[in-house]
């Protein structure tokens, strides 16, 4: 591994500083809301009985979510519209925002799609994907003719 020392007036350092300045501007402009809605963080875990998806989506209501299965794909989406109006003798101010996201997950073949469940509590959407019961091989004797 080679260690590269950055010089104070390096052109590469100037470019990186410009990129950081650009990112800081848009992050300040959009705030944490933009980063949060771009793609919510998800934890995926598996037990012997089921798969679990946990999405970190604070600040929403249960009614903001839509879960669907499309062609063996679980689609989780949410939309939130916020509006507020403040009237005063000298001005009228109306603020609104619209945020949305969609996440898609290919389902394994062993998921029982008829028993998928979801729960939203304390900013975490928990989706449970139960596994199908394994069919045991049936044994039968074959008579020899």
CATH class of 41-130: mainly beta
Taking only the tens place, the pLDDT of each residue in 27-72 is 544 444 444 456 789 999 999 999 999 999 988 889 999 999 998 9
β-sheet with 65-70: strand ranges across: 65-70, 73-87, 92-106
What are the boundaries of each domain within the chain?
A: 11-39, 41-130
Within 13 Å of residue 82, how many CA atoms lie on the same side as its CB?
Answer: 8
What are the tens digits of pLDDT across the range 109-139?
999 999 999 999 999 999 999 999 876 667 7
- Find the radius of gyration of the CA atoms of the chain: 25
In our burial notation (b when 16+ CB lie closer than 10 A, e otherwise), range 70-82 reads eeeebebebebee
Q: Kindly write down the DSSP assignment for every residue of 40-87, as one continuous string.
A: --EEEEE-SSEEEEEEE-TT--GGGEEEEEETTEEEEEEEEEEEEEEE
Phi/psi at 24 (5° precision): -60, -40
């Amino acid at each position: 591994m080679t260690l590269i020392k950055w010089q104070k007036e390096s052109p590469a350092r100037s470019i990186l500083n410009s990129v950081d300045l650009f990112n800081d501007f848009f992050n300040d402009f959009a705030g944490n809301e933009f980063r949060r809605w771009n793609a919510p963080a998800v934890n995926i875990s598996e037990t012997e009985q089921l798969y679990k998806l946990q999405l970190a989506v604070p600040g929403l209501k249960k009614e903001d979510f839509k879960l669907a299965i499309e062609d063996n794909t679980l689609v989780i989406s949410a939309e939130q519209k916020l509006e507020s109006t403040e009237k005063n003798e000298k001005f009228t101010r109306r603020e609104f925002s619209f945020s949305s996201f969609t996440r898609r997950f290919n389902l394994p073949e062993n998921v029982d799609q008829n028993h998928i469940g979801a729960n939203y509590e304390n900013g975490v959407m928990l989706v449970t994907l139960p596994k199908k019961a394994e069919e045991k091989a049936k044994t039968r004797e074959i008579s020899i003719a």
